[in-house]
Amino acid sequence: MIIVLKPKISKREEAAVLAEIRKLGYRPHVMRGVARTVIGAIGDERTHKSLEMLTTWPQVESVTPIQKRYKLTSREAHSANSTITLSNGTVIGGKKFVVMAGPCSVEGEKQLLTTAHAVKKAGATILRGGAFKPRTSPYEFQGLGEKGLKLLAKARKETGLAVITELLSEDHAKMVAEYADILQIGARNAQNFQLLIAAAKTGRPVLLKRGLSMKIEEWLLAGEYVLANDNANLMFCERGIRTFETYTRNTLDLATIPIIKKESHCPIVIDPSQGAGRADLVVALCKGAAAMGADALLVEVHPNPAEAWSDGAQQLTLDGFARLMEELQPFITAAGKE
70-129 positions binding a second copy, by CB under 8 A: 70-71, 76
Task: State yes or no: residue 148 binds a second copy (CB under 8 A).
Answer: no
**85 φ, ψ (degrees, to nearest 5):** -105, 125
Of residues 212-241, those binding a second copy (CB under 8 A): 212-213, 215-218, 221-222, 224-225, 228, 241
Contact (Cβ atoms closer than 8 angstroms) between residue 125 and residue 325? no
Q: Tell me, what DSSP letter sits at residue 255?
A: T
Q: Tell me, what DSSP letter sits at residue 172?
A: G
x-or-dash string of contact with a second copy, 37-76, rule CB under 8 A = -x-x-xxx-x--xx-xxxxxx------x-xx-xxx----x
Task: State yes or no: residue 299 binds a second copy (CB under 8 A).
Answer: no
- Least CB distance to a second copy at residue 252 (A): 6
Task: State yes or no: residue 34 binds a second copy (CB under 8 A).
Answer: yes
CA distance 154 to 161: 10
Q: Looking at beta carbons only, is 33 or 89 nearer to a second copy?
A: 33
| Residues touching a second copy, count (CB under 8 A) | 108
- Least CB distance to a second copy at residue 187 (A): 9
Binds a second copy by CB under 8 A, chosen from 94, 134, 145, 160: 134
Q: How do strand 126-128 and strand 182-185 relate by DSSP bridges?
A: unpaired
Q: What is the secondary structure of 115-166 as a DSSP string?
A: HHHHHHHHT--EEE-BSS---SSTTS----THHHHHHHHHHHHHH--EEEEE
Binds a second copy by CB under 8 A, chosen from 289, 297, 318, 325: 289
Span interacting with a second copy, options 79-87, 146-154, 201-209, 246-254, rule CB under 8 A = 246-254
- Least CB distance to a second copy at residue 193 (A): 6
Amino acid at 64: T
Span interacting with a second copy, options 30-38, 91-99, 109-117, 143-151, rule CB under 8 A = 30-38
Cα angle at 302 between 300 and 304, to 5 degrees? 145
User: Coil, strand, or helix at residue 77?
Assistant: coil
